[in-house]
Structure 1
Amino acid sequence: MGLSDIASGVKVTSKQHDRSIAAVDATDTPLSNRLAPFADDLPCTVEAAVTLVESYVDGSSVGKSARTAGLAPVTGAKTLHLLGEPIAPLSPMGRRVVREWIDAQCTRAEALELSNASEVEFALAVFVETHDPLPGVRETLEPVFTPDSAKRSTITKRDVLAETMSNADDLR
């Protein structure tokens, strides 16, 4: 079999398909009601946070989700961080430099240069390093961020891959 035989049927396209996360919220309580207890600690309204989360879970970027919710992208990123979604605007090395600046081990100018971050990225990284996610919010939103979490807890990776695995008798 030659390379041309292998490549036959391969097509090049210039259009990509949107691949989003399939999420199922198995709870009966609306997302706005679950976020209401955290309203005072969010940098936006509960309605904007609901729109942000729904758009983000549907596969949109943080920036696009924020714009859909009528928020600035940085506010959207801050909100997602506070809701327990891992947001990392900088590399691990950049985050270490930000922590050193927070601990007064270097100047802001040095930290900006060493982290190789823009002003906005640096400000968001400082927010992430100085604000923990809201206590209890991730558990409240787990059904939204984790697709079909109830099913996944009973099905193991071994169950899913059972057809592909062989046992010792197959080796004889």
Structure 2
Amino acid sequence: MELSDIAAGIEVTTEQVDRGVAAVDDTETDVVTRLEPFAEDLPCGVEAAAELVAVYAEGATVGEAARRAGLAPTTGAKTLHRLGEPVSPLTPHQRTVVDDFLAARVPRTEAIRLIGDEADFALGVYAHTHDPLSGASEAVEGLLAPGSANPDPLVEARSDVDDLL
């Protein structure tokens, strides 16, 4: 039996409707405008936050992006955290130390000694006591989302189908 024998007598009775791809496009609204509702809760001004996000999305480190936005590196990290970007410098064990400090089971000096760096400790405490702002990640979604206009930094390290042939 051949494929033509199997397909004999099969007919299409309805047409498929092409509905296209559903997409939400917020690019008409600039980042500053999208961040305005969060202005009071950000650790810096909205314009600086927009510049920080733009530079960080280009691939700069948190510190470099903060400096180019006119902010201290810690303020830049706090801002990115509030916008929903995971930038905590702490390991899981160090987060446990912060938990113990906040529960008053470990004194501050001991917590800093266990973490190893006072700036990392301060940022870890801030991240633990300040949740990301609800809706803020959606405001910067097009910039910080994987697969946005930013090139993949690991593209040269990956194999291509042509490499297999």
TM-score by length of 2: 0.71
C-alpha change, 1:26 and 1:148, in structure 2 (3 Å) is farther
Aligned residues: 127
Gaps of 5+ in 1: 1-24, 150-162, 165-172
Cα deviation, 1:82-116, whole Å, max 9, x if unaligned, reads: 00000111111111101110011111122112222
Equivalent pair of 1:26/1:148 in contact (CA under 8 Å) = no
Structure 1 consecutive aligned stretches of length 4 or more whose deviation exceeds 2 Å: none
Question: 2: CA distance between counterparts of 1:55 and 1:119?
Answer: 26
Task: Kindly indicate whether residue 130 of structure 2 is the aligned counterpart of residue 131 of structure 1.
Answer: yes
TM-score by length of 1: 0.69
Structure having the higher Rg: 2
Identity of aligned residues (%): 52
1:20-169 correspondence to structure 2 within 5 Å = 27-116=27-116, 118-148=117-147
What displacement does 1:148 show?
4.5
Gaps of 5+ in 2: 1-24, 149-160
Which secondary structure state, in structure 2, belongs to the residue aligned with residue 143 of structure 1? Answer: helix
More helix by share: 1
